Structure 1
């Protein structure tokens, strides 16, 4: 049996791995104050807004304990804080602090560099179409349509 290495799933997996590796290399080369895992946590927290820690872990595809370690370290540096969830006192929300802004600015510069690399050889129209199509595929999987 021959497996096609260029199927949709393999292409997406390879691309995600390559982008992550490029991001990690760039981040470490910049000498930022955060590790790649912490940087991803800050980006996802900024994207989600104030969010429960378990929801953030799920959105990032991480085990809750792994995310907890990242949040602990970010909290120690003052980049995030855990605050009680008014709707469930047992739950904690992760909130970015103003101190995270400088780190996020550095991280977004790095993601911009990676995005430029990704779109090399693509016209503006092709890049726009790729983004539209990827969003459509993502929406096909959202909402639990099983």
Structure 2
């Protein structure tokens, strides 16, 4: 690249804005279900692969184990997940999504498509494909840089 290019030329970081705006809309759409995007991602991971260890769940969500534990506490209190002792290691727990969680993930999936429809309005399929390719590469570049530290 010849000149330095920033995706925050107007001093508003576009990635953070997009993530924040998506979260605001997502949370608003899920408010009737008393669910936040962060809590929802826990459920999505567990519905995909039920019985993850708390530490593995934290790694997949790329958040601290303490944060994961707090999310699980809230979800468990509302009947969406249950903790069970890990039969291979009694010091750790495995987390299981309940039937109630599986139903909510269906609602969340519809909500994700609704948020995507709002965000992608006026953008062609080709533009979206190129954007995703570039964003995946950027994410991979950043993860590689973090791993080197």
For 2:101 and 2:47, locate their aligned partners in 1 and report how far apart those are by CA, in whole Å: 9
Moved more, 100-109 or 6-15: 6-15
The count of residues paired between Structure 1 and Structure 2 equals: 141
Instruction: Please tell me whether residue 24 in structure 1 is matched to residue 27 in structure 2.
Output: yes
Supply the distance in 2 between the matched residues of 1:132 and 1:12 (Cα, whole angstroms): 15
Change (3 A) 1:119 1:37: same
Gapped regions of structure 1 (runs ≥ 5): none
Q: How does 1:103-142 map to 2 (within 5 A)?
A: 103-142=104-143
Which stretch of structure 1 is more off in the superposition, 12-21 or 74-83?
74-83
On the 8 A contact 1:32/1:106 being kept in 2, the answer is: no
Instruction: Report the counterpart of residue 42 of structure 2 in structure 1.
Output: 41
Q: Secondary structure at the match of 1:93?
A: strand
Change (3 A) 1:6 1:96: farther
User: Would you say the 8 A contact 1:33–1:103 is kept in 2?
Assistant: no
- Partners in 1 of 2:45 and 2:10 — Cα distance? 28
Alignment partner of 1:121: what SS? coil
TM-score, structure 1 length as denominator?
Answer: 0.76
From the superposition, tell whether residues 33 and 15 of structure 1 become closer, same or farther in structure 2 (CA, over 3 Å): closer
Instruction: Give per-residue Cα distances to partners, 1:13-57, cap 9 Å, x unaligned.
Output: 1111111111111111xx115344422332343456543223433
Instruction: Evaluate the alpha carbon distance shift between residue 35 and residue 12 of structure 1 in structure 2; reply closer, same or farther with a 3 A threshold.
Output: closer
Alpha-carbon displacement from aligned partner over 1:83-106 (angstroms, at most 9, x marks no partner): 333443211122223331111111
- Structure 1 residue 110: Cα displacement: 1.0
Structure 1 residue 56 and structure 2 residue 79: aligned?
no
User: Gapped runs of 5+ residues in structure 2?
Assistant: 1-6
The offset of 1:62, in angstroms, is 4.5
Shift in CA distance, 138/92, structure 1 to aligned 2, threshold 3 Å: same
TM-score normalised over the length of structure 2: 0.75
